[in-house]
Amino acid sequence: MQSAVDLSRPGLPAGLKAGHGTRRRSLSWILIAATLVSLLALLPLAFIVWVAVQTGWETASALVFRPRVGELLVNTVLLVAMAVPISIVLSVTLAWLTERSDLPGARLWAWLSVAPLAIPAFVHSYAWVSLVPGLHGLWAGVLVSVLAYFPFLYLPIAAALRRLDPALEDAAAALGLGPWRVFARVVLPQLRLAICGGSLLVGLHLLAEYGLYVFIRFDTFTTAIVDQFQSTFNGPAANMLAAVLVTCCFVLLALEVLVRGEERYARVGSGAARQQQRTRLGRVTLACLALPAITALLSLGVPFVTIGRWLIAGGTDVWRLDEIGLALGQTLFLAVGGALLATIAAMPMAWVSIRAPGPLQRLLEGCNYIVGSLPGVVIALALVTITVRIAMPLYQTLFTILFAYALMFLPRALISLRASIAQAPVELERAASSLGRPPLRALWSTTIRLSAPGAAAGMALVALGITNELTATQMLAPNGTRTLAMAFWSYSGEIDYASAAPYAFIMVAMSLPLTWLLYVQSKRMAGR
Amino acid sequence: MSFLELSGVQKHYGPVAALAGVDLSVMRGSRTAIVGPSGCGKTTLLRLIAGFEAPDQGRIVLDGEVLANGGAAVPAYRRGIGVVAQDGALFPHLTIADNIGFGVVRGADKRTEHIVELAYIVGLDKAILKRRPHELSGGQQQRVALARAMAMKPRLMLLDEPFSALDTGLRASMRKAVAELLEAAGITTILVTHDQAEALSFASQVAVMRDGLFSQVGTPRELYFQPKDRMIAEFLGDAIILPARIADGFATSPLGRIAVDTTERRDVARIMLRPEQVLLKRTSREGMSGTPEMLFGEVTESEFAGSMCTIAVRLLNSPDPPDAAAIGNTPLILRKPGMDAPALGEIVRLTVSGMAHVFA
């Protein structure tokens, strides 16, 4: 054991900080732009605080501490507390089956586990209610929520599973751990980030969802706020409910930060990971096939069968082409406009967070994510109040609705842009500078060009969100606007399910390619 | 009595044969290196021994216990074989202490003391135990991986190119330290590498692998000086290969009369010399005259690279080679210490030390 002595060497410092002094000037312009966007994004939040202050403690507490609010809180908490864990278990199982076992048709099942995202949540609900008219209450809410939103968990978990280095599992096996213990002690901990992120996304969607719960007559904060808004416009009651809802969102965000922790899950070491081996299912193959099959049947079969049935029942009469064409045109216009605005607004923030990270930048970025996690109804309510009280000419204009979309969907654009900017090496920017381009042009000709695919993907995701958006559009869009979602909503509200069917069909048909894009992107992120 | 015995081990991936019937026997407490170019199947062999995969055919027996026979195999977690992978494969979500103690039952007696002791043995500072793998340098990560594998007191240790990620200086010292460490612990070790110098210096038995088969197994010395064929000779180092006529334990070659390592052969064959066997002595054109039995050459190229200098020597008065005259005209490439290497155009006298090896 003599060698122990020569073996010990002082540890190297973990990493050297790279200087960022060279591009101060262009950086400061971009930083100002990023700050401006973040401040604008904080507008709805500032509004909530302002309203709370203005309402005064007595009125506010009278509005907040009442049985109705408690009831809504119980409903919402129960919904999240049941739907999220069920989605986690379902998604982890599906992801393992499709990524790490020799399940027949794994690729097909993987795609079918993502496809439910193409169906707006309120269309899921519409399908279930017209199939089982008696469906309502908490359990119905949990069922439809899980079916509509579990892909948000499935996608990151499947991607993380694919990225896992099989050498770790080999190492654990060599250290004497059986397959189940390897899964519990090595695989599952490494999925933690994916599970946390996905759960947060599902939780926030549950808090924000409106249409889904109206169909099955389950009251949450969001449905209550919209009801309140429809009866008393932007009265203090609605605003106070919104404040409680925002608090719920913050609780979820804080929970996620707490559970996620500071751990690192990236692969340590260099070189390419070797190909993963798939577990042989053997005799249990058939039993294992049942899970993805039943999930696909409930999450895709039910909506498609219902829409198909109503389309057949309605015949050609429901295809009022002028009306549908108009709605389609308006939806596309809003979707493209909102996507462009959100992407342009996200650009400076994305660049700053990758190229010049720091505490201020992280704070700014955090603002954008927090606002993006607020329910559409809260942002809409804030913008309604602000425009009515301060800038009346802007009330229910194209500007306001696009602004709201940009606020709501900025994080989607930001995440895609960040990922692709991170992949564009900074050396290229420097090379362009050394070849004589001034900083901003160097940036344009290298990083921004290279991040174009990421920007496009981000825009597609924003457009997808806008196409299926209902509450904010209803509250903010100029008079006479009738998007696909609004038309669907008003027909189904009149129980004219047949007339609503073509709109549901078009929304799904438009969303499917975008969902496919999402699926392909997640595969590519995992390096395949 | 061999400790690990492989016989007829085969493994196919689709139509590709990664291992085409491998036999190997490893003595208890010894160190074996498996060396070969990338893609020759050496890592596959290691994975079969570790139990990460099952062979298609053949037997693997460790210490009298059959680990794999045909398709049936004991799973990795029941084998008690330690593995150190190329980049350590540390668990990124655990601290260094938890990494080292991963295979030790939680709540086991004196678990913490055991971990600290292992860290000391592999030369890790105690302060490092609370850190995470990504905060460590490559060499430290390898030590942790080694400590982790040693914690479960393995019967056999498999090292899969564990030093290839380290820089040159660290690599040599780590190699030496690990060899001593495992020797002291009495653990039988198999090292897989593509670096021939590493294989020759690490092991007591070296197996050269090519296309899924062992082309030669033996001691480092045997392999280096008596390789079976030209490929092995050139894989393990630079080689001078010459045509020669063999008789009575001597070869008549372009380099004159050289002793060979066989007395039985009496035919025309190829012989191999390692360049370091060819010695040079400075002289001049005048010094050449009147000594016909001596061999002279002219330096036609000289490439200085610090400690070593690569020079090319063209033979001036080579005796008639038995068959290929062309070979006599190809200059010999030799590596000599850079300090007093002959310069371009100088005349040198060549002598051969030791014996040449005759290829079959």
Q: What secondary structure does DSSP assign to B66-127, as a single string? A: EEEETTEE--GGGT-EEEE-TT----TTS-HHHHHTTTSPTT-TTHHHHHHHHHHHTT--GG
Alpha carbon B219 to chain centroid distance? 10
Closest chain B residue by Cα to residue A177: B77
Contact call for residues B144 and B94 (beta carbons, < 8 A): no
Residues 6+ apart with CB under 8 A from B203: B31, B32, B33, B191, B220
Token look-up 């008219």 returns A133
Please tell me the predicted confidence (pLDDT) of residue A20. Answer: 43
In the numeric block, which tokens belong to residue A405?
């979309």
Closest-CA distance of chain B to residue A71, Å: 40
Q: Measured between beta carbons, which residues in chain A are less than 8 angstroms from residue B148?
A: 171, 175
Token look-up 């907040």 returns A64
Q: Measured between beta carbons, which residues in chain A are less than 8 angstroms from residue B71?
A: none
CA A217 – CA A136 distance, rounded (Å): 6
Please tell me the predicted confidence (pLDDT) of residue A396. Answer: 84
Could you say which DSSP state residue B263 is in?
Answer: S
ipTM confidence: 0.75
Residues 6+ apart with CB under 8 A from B267: B245, B246
Evaluate if residue B155 carries a pLDDT over 70: yes
Evaluate if residue A528 carries a pLDDT over 70: no
> Which of A22-31, A260-269, A345-354 has the largest mean confidence?
A345-354
Please state the rounded mean pLDDT for residues A238-242.
85
Closest chain B residue by Cα to residue A189: B93
In the numeric block, which tokens belong to residue B147?
């400590």
The reply to whether residue B149 touches residue A175, judged by beta carbons under 8 angstroms, is yes
Please state the rounded mean pLDDT for residues A246-258.
86
CA A27 – CA A20 distance, rounded (Å): 9
* A26: nearest Cα among A336, A446, A314, A495: A446
Please state the rounded mean pLDDT for residues A194-200.
88
Evaluate if residue A333 carries a pLDDT over 90: yes
CA B104 – CA B8 distance, rounded (Å): 34
> Which of A94-108, A262-276, A456-470 has the largest mean confidence?
A94-108
Provide the pLDDT confidence category of residue A388 given band limits of 50, 70 and 90.
Answer: confident
The reply to whether residue A174 touches residue B79, judged by beta carbons under 8 angstroms, is yes
Which pLDDT tens digit goes with each residue over A82-131? Answer: 999 999 999 999 999 999 899 999 999 999 999 998 999 999 999 999 89
Residue of A2, A5, A6, A7 for testing the chain B interface, max B β-carbons within 10 Å:
A7
Please state the rounded mean pLDDT for residues B115-119.
90
Contact call for residues A50 and A236 (beta carbons, < 8 A): no
pTM to 2 decimal places: 0.79
Evaluate if residue A337 carries a pLDDT over 90: yes
Q: Measured between beta carbons, which residues in chain B are less than 8 angstroms from residue A186?
A: 91
Token look-up 């105690």 returns B126
Provide the pLDDT confidence category of residue A249 given band limits of 50, 70 and 90.
Answer: confident
Contacts 24+ apart (CB under 8 A), A14-17: A14/B135
Please tell me the predicted confidence (pLDDT) of residue B266. Answer: 78
Q: Measured between beta carbons, which residues in chain B are less than 8 angstroms from residue A4?
A: 120-123, 181
Cα angle value A314/A320/A324 (rounded, 5°): 115
Please tell me the predicted confidence (pLDDT) of residue A12. Answer: 35
DSSP letter for each residue of A299-338: IIIHHHHHHHHHHHHHGGGG--HHHHHHHHHHHHHHHHHH
Evaluate if residue B109 carries a pLDDT over 80: no
Please tell me the predicted confidence (pLDDT) of residue A127. Answer: 93
Closest-CA distance of chain B to residue A373, Å: 28
Please state the rounded mean pLDDT for residues B88-117.
86
Provide the pLDDT confidence category of residue A273 given band limits of 50, 70 and 90.
Answer: low
Evaluate if residue B177 carries a pLDDT over 60: yes
* A415: nearest Cα among A372, A467, A458: A458
Q: Measured between beta carbons, which residues in chain A are less than 8 angstroms from residue B137?
A: 11-12
* B345: nearest Cα among B290, B288, B289, B283: B283
Provide the pLDDT confidence category of residue A2 given band limits of 50, 70 and 90.
Answer: very low
Please tell me the predicted confidence (pLDDT) of residue A305. Answer: 94
The reply to whether residue B152 touches residue A176, judged by beta carbons under 8 angstroms, is yes
Interface of B with A in 221-280 (CB under 8 A): none
Please tell me the predicted confidence (pLDDT) of residue A264. Answer: 55
Please tell me the predicted confidence (pLDDT) of residue A24. Answer: 54
Chain A contacts to B (CB-CB under 8 A): 1-9, 11-12, 14, 165, 167-168, 170-179, 182, 185-186, 189-190, 192, 263-271, 277
Please state the rounded mean pLDDT for residues A321-327.
90
Average pLDDT, chain A: 84
Provide the pLDDT confidence category of residue B331 given band limits of 50, 70 and 90.
Answer: confident
* A153: nearest Cα among A208, A204, A194: A194
Which pLDDT tens digit goes with each residue over B6-60? Answer: 999 999 988 888 999 999 999 999 999 999 988 888 989 999 999 888 999 999 9
Cα angle value B204/B36/B40 (rounded, 5°): 135
Cα angle value A191/A194/A195 (rounded, 5°): 80
In the numeric block, which tokens belong to residue B36?
């070969």
A11, A173, A265 ranked by CB distance to B137: nearest: A11
Which pLDDT tens digit goes with each residue over B230-265? Answer: 999 999 989 998 888 888 888 888 888 889 888 887
Please tell me the predicted confidence (pLDDT) of residue A22. Answer: 45
Please state the rounded mean pLDDT for residues A449-461.
83
Please tell me the predicted confidence (pLDDT) of residue A266. Answer: 55
**Size of the A and B interface in Cβ pairs below 8 Å:** 137
Provide the pLDDT confidence category of residue A495 given band limits of 50, 70 and 90.
Answer: confident
Could you say which DSSP state residue A277 is in?
Answer: P
Please state the rounded mean pLDDT for residues B154-177.
85
CA A496 – CA B68 distance, rounded (Å): 68
Give whole-number Cα distances, A432 to A22, A429, A445, in Å.
14, 5, 8
Give whole-number Cα distances, A136 to A129, A133, A376, B189, B310, in Å.
8, 8, 24, 66, 86
Q: Please check whether residue B169 touches A, CB under 8 A.
A: no
Strand partners, A300: none
What's chain A's length in residues?
A: 528
Evaluate if residue B289 carries a pLDDT over 80: no
**What values do phi and psi take at A372, rounded to 5?**
-65, -25
Closest-CA distance of chain A to residue B93, Å: 6
Evaluate if residue A10 carries a pLDDT over 50: no
Average pLDDT, chain B: 87
Evaluate if residue B288 carries a pLDDT over 80: no
Provide the pLDDT confidence category of residue B189 given band limits of 50, 70 and 90.
Answer: very high
Could you say which DSSP state residue A374 is in?
Answer: S
Contact call for residues B195 and B38 (beta carbons, < 8 A): no
The reply to whether residue B139 touches residue A186, judged by beta carbons under 8 angstroms, is no
Contact call for residues B50 and B83 (beta carbons, < 8 A): yes
Residue of B67, B77, B125 for testing the chain A interface, max A β-carbons within 10 Å:
B77
Give whole-number Cα distances, B358 to A287, B122, B209, in Å.
65, 44, 21
B120, B132, B137 ranked by CB distance to A12: nearest: B137
Provide the pLDDT confidence category of residue A306 given band limits of 50, 70 and 90.
Answer: very high
Token look-up 């060698």 returns A3
The larger pLDDT score, comparing residue A126 to residue A261, is at: A126
Contact call for residues B194 and B36 (beta carbons, < 8 A): yes
Where would I find the H helices in chain B?
A: 42-50, 96-100, 111-121, 138-151, 168-185, 196-202, 220-225, 230-235, 285-288, 325-329
The reply to whether residue A9 touches residue B89, judged by beta carbons under 8 angstroms, is no
Strand partners, B273: B240
Closest-CA distance of chain B to residue A12, Å: 7
Which pLDDT tens digit goes with each residue over A178-190? Answer: 888 999 998 998 8
Contact call for residues B25 and B6 (beta carbons, < 8 A): yes
Please tell me the predicted confidence (pLDDT) of residue A15. Answer: 36
